[in-house]
Amino acid sequence: MRTQVGIIGAGPAGLLLSHLLHLQGIESIVLEARSQQQVEKRVRAGILEQGTVDLLNETGVGARMMRQGLVHHGIELQFGHERRRIDFQELTAGKSVMVYAQHEVLKDLIEARLVAQGQLLFEVDDVTVGDLDGSKPKVQFRKDGSSQELICDFIAGCDGFHGVCRPAVPTEVLNVFERIYPFAWLGILAQAPPSSKELIYAYHERGFALLSMRSPEISRLYVQCPPDDDIRNWSDERIWQELHTRLECLDGWKLMEGPVLQKGITGMRSFVVEPMQYGRLFLAGDSAHIVPPTGAKGLNLAAADVRVLSRALGEYYASGKIYLLDSYSTTCLRRIWKVQRFSWWMTSMLHRFSDDNPFDQRRQLAELDYVTSSRAASVSLAENYVGLPMD
Ligand code: FAD
Ligand code: PHB
């Protein structure tokens, strides 16, 4: 088999890259370990930055998102049982974010690729990448029990944090930057109308809590928990109890409960590798970097990476020039580090750390008070949340 760009992984990075390349007349094949059904069902991120929304619309895959997504013009920060609003529209000259589930974005992208007769191979096994520093890198894999080889001009490693592409780069080439947080998030999806029009990020002495949503009927809620906690320790009753306590507010507001449809625990880390390129392998999305979810940035960073990569590949196939490919890593990392900073900052401000002391707690409360009362600080939060410029 032969293609121009071999893409490993059908997550947001891989599928969006395949779509953006197709729009420039560049052929790709996407190889994915899971089934199409698994990819289309996996509950993960839910907030799209303004720039991600614009990109999906400009490239013709935003119609369902515009019909079913929920536009949010602000968020609430809660501390000391009081809520204060950050008004994105007012602070960022009209920008907003969209609540639209990651797996819905993936459904839209898969449909667009299939309509265009793009090649998506699901349920492939034993993927390995090789000859990365030569001119014809290759991917070996098994599909329906038989071994196959795909020869490419380039390989895009869009296979997430646990994929095979990053480990295929010689370790001496990669610089790894990492911070692991001493807590995790327990997340639930509940059949309950969202109890608030906007997201609520709550700082509480028992730990962080977040009220989010997926639709007018479905709530998405999170509580901070120990990093090694077991989901079996958390009955639905205990989860609701903790959510009620941490989200309780002085004005008599009530959290609405409903059947828990899904629950899980996700660890939190900040992670970056530099560079994001080795020979003809380009890493994009979670395979190159992870952010803690507090800033809602993981999916948006993946979209920003492949936007840069698709343009660089477009330039190469149009003119033979490689300068954009050569600067891919530097271009992406400049923005990635700013997003890392924001995600770390939101996380540090809103969570209880296992080793924190009364000084740190007062400092966190002062920070929340400052960020919600100083226009300069509110603008900073708002412009990062709706998304820094892509370029
Ligand atoms: P992924 O979405 O991880 O896609 C990688 C794909 O590659 C997967 O489909 C995987 O099956 C496939 N793959 C892996 N290895 C191989 C292989 N060897 N061969 C073939 N295919 C392979 N972000 C937020 O902003 N908010 C959230 O609430 C949030 N929740 C999250 C919950 C969880 C459990 C996780 C893991 C992440 C969450 N994130 C969240 C982060 C966000 O979902 C990711 O940043 C985003 O999915 C990154 O997209 P990606 O395409 O780079 O990687
Ligand atoms: C979500 O809805 O899943 C969500 C929202 C905001 C975040 C993280 C996750 O910061």
| 157 Cβ inside 6 Å of ligand 1 | no
| Mean pLDDT to the nearest integer, 233-253 | 95
Average per-residue pLDDT in the chain?
97
Helical H segments across 153-276, by residue range: 236-247
pLDDT grade, residue 30 (50/70/90)?
Answer: very high
Positive or negative, the CA dihedral 370, 391, 19, 291 is negative
What is 180-213 written as a DSSP string? EEEEEEEEEEESS--SSSS-EEE--TT--EEEEE
Considering the candidates 22, 137, 181, 201, report the single residue annotated as catalytic: 201
| Mean pLDDT to the nearest integer, 272-287 | 98
Distance CA 31, CA 378 (A): 42
pLDDT tens digit sequence for 87-139: 999 999 999 999 999 999 999 999 999 999 999 999 999 999 999 999 999 99
Nearest to 161 by CA among 144, 178, 182: 178
Q: Is the pLDDT of residue 240 over 80?
A: yes
User: Active site includes 297?
Assistant: yes
* Span from the CA of 251 to the centroid of ligand 1 (angstroms): 38
Count the Cβ atoms, other than its own, within 10 Å of residue 259: 9
pTM: 0.97
Q: Mutate which of 276, 286, 291, 346 to test ligand 1's pocket (most atoms within 8 Å of Cβ)? A: 286
Atom of ligand 2 nearest to the CA of 187: 3
Q: Mutate which of 159, 185, 220 to test ligand 1's pocket (most atoms within 8 Å of Cβ)? A: 159
pLDDT tens digit sequence for 285-304: 999 999 999 999 999 999 99
pLDDT grade, residue 219 (50/70/90)?
Answer: very high
Positive or negative, the CA dihedral 153, 157, 158, 164 is positive
Positive or negative, the CA dihedral 244, 385, 342, 380 is negative
Q: Is the pLDDT of residue 251 over 90?
A: no
* Span from the CA of 222 to the centroid of ligand 2 (angstroms): 8
User: Active site includes 72?
Assistant: yes
pLDDT grade, residue 154 (50/70/90)?
Answer: very high
Give the pLDDT confidence score for residue 252 in this predicted structure: 85
Nearest CA to ligand 2 atom 1: 46
Q: Is the pLDDT of residue 206 over 90?
A: yes
Distance CA 29, CA 160 (A): 17
Q: Is the pLDDT of residue 390 over 90?
A: no
User: Active site includes 201?
Assistant: yes
Tokens coding 198: 């906007």
Count the Cβ atoms, other than its own, within 10 Å of residue 156: 31
| 340 Cβ inside 6 Å of ligand 2 | no
| 296 Cβ inside 6 Å of ligand 2 | yes
Q: How far, CA to CA in Å, does 155 sit from each of 7, 151, 164, 243? A: 6, 9, 12, 44
CB 151 within 8 A of CB 167: no
pLDDT grade, residue 190 (50/70/90)?
Answer: very high
Tokens coding 337: 């580090």
User: Active site includes 100?
Assistant: no
Q: Is the pLDDT of residue 391 over 80?
A: no
* Span from the CA of 76 to the centroid of ligand 2 (angstroms): 13
User: Active site includes 204?
Assistant: no
Considering the candidates 293, 316, 328, 351, report the single residue annotated as catalytic: 293
